[in-house]
Amino acid sequence: MDLGTTLIVVCISVALEAFFSGSEIALISVNRIKIQHKAGEGNVSARAVLDLLKTPERIFATTSLGTNLAVVTSTSFFAAYMVTHFAENGDLYATLILAPLILFGGEIVPKLVFQTHADALIHILVWPLKFFNKIFSPVNFLFTRISGVLLKGILAPEQIKAKTFSREMIRQIIRIDSKTSELDIAEKKMIHKIFNFGEITVEQCMVPLIQIYAIKDTATLEEAHQIAVDSGYSRLPVFHERMFNLIGILNTFDLLNLPRDNSPIDELIRPAYYVPPNKKIDDLLKELQQRGLHMAIVVDEYGGCIGIITIEDLLEEIVGEIEDEYDRPEKRYESYADKGYLVEADMEIGAINEAMNLNLPKGAYETLAGLIIDRLGKIPSPGEQVVVNGYRLTVRDTTKRKINTVIVREISANAEGNAAPGMPGGESKTLASPPTPGKPPEPPRT
């Protein structure tokens, strides 16, 4: 065979290899939601794609068979020509010349191109794929039957039948398809939150005891009506003597048809459902749905109440903040002098980082106040500062029991070095409060 014919056969074979290998990655990377939407609108090529994807083992057998046939054909013809003209060194020359061509021209480059433009190219690729699928169907049928018999001897029946995607596989698909996917940032975050839902504990999303609006078990209907109106809540925890001793739930809708008098609320109190703080919230959601409940009381190992959690709190872990007719727009922070922020100390670290695009570290605490107390080991006084991860946290207002507000400012590397000399990155240091005008600065402590 002459050189011209050999080169034509090699080029056609490499082109076919590129087609089959690229088509395979395109079928894997295509946006199936988009394809299903177009098929529903009557798009013929989209319907053909879905038809192929119904039997993925057959179409992937076609692409594998086509790729291998193309490689064998190009290798055989080119090696025969080189051996004929270069004798003993022909095999070596054929390998050195053909291997890069097959690797890059038939595999790497086509796969990169077809994966990037899978949604656009699949409508063109589907028709030749269907053609080759029919041609190779007898061989594919034989191979799939043989592979099925082999799999039965290796895998359990339930493993063979299972065709579901794992969480990690879907996460990888989202990461790989981040440039071409039509999902926006919020939708991708929601998907990740759904996957992380089973890893979150009740303690991480409960309403702490200090923020609970509750009613005493000795209250009257008149008092209950007034508290319901003032709070705007549809359900109120009921406590006996002390707040940490929650004994039940009062549904304020039960008050609608009752007179506003001095009658006790005893008969309206519904039993409480108690859960531990380390319970997974996906399990809790199922239990609340099965029991027809909307609220659970979180108790510690000693039986004391440490917070409450509602179905709304659980759903907010997926979809974000849910507002109802009683919610009022609330901003937990505001701009402050010198490019800083004045932040409420009980705001969660994750919410701060997301809202203000900061990088405050997470730990055994949940709030900004928890971060400062964790670093200082005490309830600080106004003016005390902590430097952490390139941010200066200045305590602005406190009480004897907690921090109210904090000033957050980003500082430069030099400023951080001057503020906390010798401290490694990410460490914190307490800084002296600014001196009062008219008074000399305090000497450094030893």
pLDDT tens digits for range 335-383: 898 889 999 998 989 889 988 889 999 888 889 999 999 999 999 999 9
Tell me the residue range of the domain where 216 lies: 202-319
94 and 223 fall within a common domain: no
The sign of the CA dihedral 304, 265, 328, 282 is: positive
Rounded to an integer, what distance in angstroms lies between the CA atom of residue 83 and that of residue 266?
99
369 and 315 fall within a common domain: no
User: What single string gives the DSSP state of each residue in 313-354?
Assistant: HHHHHHH-----TT-----SEEEETTTEEEEETTSBHHHHHH
Question: Given pLDDT bands bounded at 50, 70 and 90, which one contains residue 251?
Answer: very high
261 and 346 fall within a common domain: no
Average pLDDT over residues 287-296: 93
Question: Given pLDDT bands bounded at 50, 70 and 90, which one contains residue 442?
Answer: very low
pLDDT above 80 for 69 = yes
What is the total count of domains within the chain? 3
338 and 274 fall within a common domain: no
How many residues does the structure list for the chain?
446
276 and 372 fall within a common domain: no
Q: Which of 250, 285, 319 is the last residue of a domain?
A: 319
Assess contact for 52 and 133: CB atoms under 8 A.
Answer: yes
CATH number at residue 405: 3.30.465.10
Rounded to an integer, what distance in angstroms lies between the CA atom of residue 22 and that of residue 121?
10
213 and 294 fall within a common domain: yes
Domain assignment of residue 132, yes or no = yes
DSSP code of residue 432: P
309 and 379 fall within a common domain: no
pLDDT, tens digit (0-9, with 9 covering 90-100), for 72-93: 998 988 888 888 888 778 888 8
279 and 346 fall within a common domain: no
Tokens of 328: 């009022």
pLDDT, tens digit (0-9, with 9 covering 90-100), for 308-325: 999 988 988 887 766 554
pLDDT, tens digit (0-9, with 9 covering 90-100), for 169-184: 666 666 655 554 556 6
The sign of the CA dihedral 401, 402, 404, 406 is: positive
Which residue, among 324, 323, 293, 327, has the nearest Cα to 310 in the 3D structure? 293
Helix (H, G, I), strand (E, B) or coil at 408: strand
7 and 145 fall within a common domain: yes
284 and 360 fall within a common domain: no
Rounded to an integer, what distance in angstroms lies between the CA atom of residue 66 and that of residue 79?
20
Helix (H, G, I), strand (E, B) or coil at 423: coil
- Write down the pTM of the prediction: 0.51
Average pLDDT, the chain: 82
pLDDT above 90 for 150 = no
Ramachandran category for residue 319: left, alpha or beta (phi over 0 → left; psi -120 to 50 → alpha): alpha
Q: What is the pLDDT of residue 210?
A: 86
Alpha helices in 358-431 (DSSP H): 368-376, 413-419
